[in-house]
Every structure is written in C-alpha cells, then in structure tokens.
Amino acid sequence: MTTPTIELKPSSNLVPAADRERILANPGFGRYFTDHMVTIRWTEGRGWHDAQLVPYAPLSLDPANMTLHYAQTIFEGLKAYRSADGSVSTFRPEANARRFQRSARRMAMPELPEELFIGACDALVKQDIDWVPGTGEESLYLRPFMFATEVGVGVHPANEFLFMVIASPAGAYFKGGVKPVSVWISEEYVRAAPGGTGEAKAGGNYASSLLAQAEATERGCDQVVWLDGIERKWVEEMGTNNLFFVYGDRIVTPAFSGSLLAGIVRDSLLTIASDLGYEVAEERISVEDWRRAAADGSLTEVFGCGTAAVITPVGRIRSKGGDWTVPATGEVTMRLRKALLDIQTGAAKDVHGWLHPVA
C-alpha cells in the first residue's frame, strides 16, 4: 500500500483578517480553530487513502458510530512557534508521530506512517500560516487525532478510521507571570494502572480523570496529583503533566511504571537539564519522600511539564494525611522553562535538531 499525498482543497470563505487578528490578540487555549483541517481515511484492506486538506467544518456522524460508544480514539498535541526571523517550526513532531503509533497499537488501531503524520501537520500549518501568532510564547497548537468511523454497536476493533488534524492559536499560558499551582493528591481515584492504557494518549483516560480533577477543585486546589494504581504510594503525574522534583543541583522525575505517559517535554527537559550541568535521574518517588524532603529542605522545587502549559511550578500540596509547601521561587524551574522556550522559539541554538522547519 502506498502513502497517499495530501490533496489541497482550500476554503474560499476564510475568517476575515480583522476577526483573525482580534482572536490572535487574546486566543486563550483551545477556544478558536483555524480555517482548515486535514482528514485521512483508513479502511481495512485498503489502508490509508483520501488524504485531504479541506475547510474546517463540523462532521456528520451516525448515532451508532463506534467511537461514541466504545471510545476507540487517540490524540496528540504539539505546537508551531514563530521565530524572530518570521520562520515557523514545529517542535519534535517525529516524537509525536511515534507516540501516536504506540497509542494506536495499544488501542488496536492502525498505525499512521510517520511521514503522513508530519506531512499532515506541515500542510495545515502552511495553509493557515497567518494563524501562527507573533513571536514569544504564543503558538499554534496542533491537535492530530484518530477515531473509529465504523457504524455498529458490536464490540470489536473497528474496520475503518478517520485521522484528522485541527489547529488552535494558543496564548502565553501564564498571563502576567508564571504562578505556582496547588495540588490535591488523589488517593481514591487512579488515572491508570500497569497493563492499562495510561501510556497511550487515549480519550478515555481523560474522561476517567475528570472526577478526580473536580475533587481537587473542591479541595481548593488547581490540579490533581496521580499516584500509582497498585500501592497508591508512588507519585506518577499531575493532571495531564509529568512531574519533576528538584533537589539543589539534582533533578528527578518519576520513572516509567507502565502507567506514566511518556511526555515529550519530560524527555526534552531530561536532556536540557543534563546539558546545563544538573544531575538528572528517573526514580520512584513516594508521597512520604515528597513530604519529608520538603520538610527537611532538601527538596527545593517541584514543577509539572507538558506541551500546553510548558512548565508549571507547584507550590502547595494537600492530601488526606496533611498539607505542606515547597518553596515557590523556582530558580531552576524558571531556568529550564526559559531554556526550553528559547529552543522552541528559535532564540537559542537548536543543538539537538528538535525544530522541524515548516515555513
């Protein structure tokens, strides 16, 4: 089966420039979408076909569409940044493409070839280039996703799927400076367990996390912290972010456990921190370790990381067993944040070849 090329069928009815500029002045996150989208179909026996860039528009779905019932759906998230010279690049799209293939395997879905994933993202960014905000922390967030399109309520892997990419301008996550968040450690609910789907970016993982996030909000916290599903002892993630613990010059992130999502920012920060001379490690960290190290002062900073918010410092921790704090000045946190953003926005040398030039 050959890889299809993406046929361009651009819109003749674009959002007027003045409206687009008004949106770009205050885009928030995930609220507005650009003029186009990419769609590629997969059918059993035929493979990938009908790759198209078309005007952004609603879909029409049969009520028995299998995704609506059994959630065979996965997604990715990556950003396109504009550099000071006006060029636009995405950050490590091949890492997203490969994770999308791993998610697909886990969810019994077909694997999209890496070049088609990147080609679809490139085509959309090129077409909607005017939607990439100006320089700085603002970006165009790309949301590739795939879902079952077979009609029927029998339970089995679907025989047809639709892959799509949509794009949404994203403002600087923290307007008026980075603020530390408070977290609630969830002991009642778990996000994922070894053998489950926690390593996949699968829609169902997010549906099942919302109640715990609501509980965190009820407890007056911004985010939920997930523990391992077996002992409810080992720290895994924060909301949809990976976590880092800073002990002076030593930086530690929870080791893969079979239920952690392998974040691309997590991976990038391990490299950047090591480049900057920090000692880095992937280890198990218990809630008790966290509380003890915060109390004796050896733990100096904690932060979450992910594509959407980049890096978020954690200042206050609440749990059934008590509350504690971590110093919120975050010198290392802010240094890593700047180092990463400088690479993403072209302000620093891209020594690892992470930028993928698009236009």
Ligand X SMILES: *Cc1c(COP(=O)(O)O)cnc(C)c1O
- Residue 78 CB, nearest approach to ligand X (Å): 8
What's the CA gap between 285 and 254, in Å, rounded? 6
Phi and psi at residue 84, in whole multiples of 5°?
-60, -30
- CA separation (Å) from 264 to 13, 76, 93, 268, 334? 36, 11, 10, 6, 18
Pick the closer one to ligand X by CB: 27 or 263. 263
Plot region of 86 (φ>0 → left; ψ -120 to 50 → alpha; else → beta): left
- Residue 223 CB, nearest approach to ligand X (Å): 12
Rg of the chain over Cα atoms, rounded to whole angstroms, equals 21
Task: Identify the burial level of 143 via C-beta atoms within 10 angstroms of its C-beta, where 0-12 means exposed, 13-18 middle and 19 or more buried.
Answer: middle
- Residue 210 CB, nearest approach to ligand X (Å): 13
- Residue 144 CB, nearest approach to ligand X (Å): 12
Interface with ligand X by CB under 6 A: which residues? Answer: 77, 201, 237, 240-242, 261, 263-266, 306-307
167-188: string of b/e by CB count within 10 Å (b at 16+)? bbbbbbbeeeebebbbbbbbee
- Residue 257 CB, nearest approach to ligand X (Å): 13
- Residue 45 CB, nearest approach to ligand X (Å): 32
Pick the closer one to ligand X by CB: 151 or 207. 207
Q: Give 130's DSSP letter.
A: G
- Residue 196 CB, nearest approach to ligand X (Å): 12
Pick the closer one to ligand X by CB: 23 or 302. 302
Pick the closer one to ligand X by CB: 41 or 106. 106
Pick the closer one to ligand X by CB: 20 or 191. 191
Beta strands in the chain (DSSP E): 7-8, 36-43, 47-55, 73-75, 78-82, 88-91, 139-148, 160-170, 181-185, 223-227, 235-238, 241-247, 250-254, 279-283, 301-306, 310-319, 322-325, 355-357
Pick the closer one to ligand X by CB: 6 or 97. 97
The residues, ordered by sequence, that sit 6+ positions from 55 with a Cβ below 8 Å of its Cβ are: 9, 10, 11, 13, 35, 36, 37
Pick the closer one to ligand X by CB: 149 or 242. 242
Ranked by CB distance to ligand X, the top (closest) residue is 263
Pick the closer one to ligand X by CB: 178 or 269. 269
What's the CA gap between 106 and 164, in Å, rounded? 19
- Residue 50 CB, nearest approach to ligand X (Å): 28
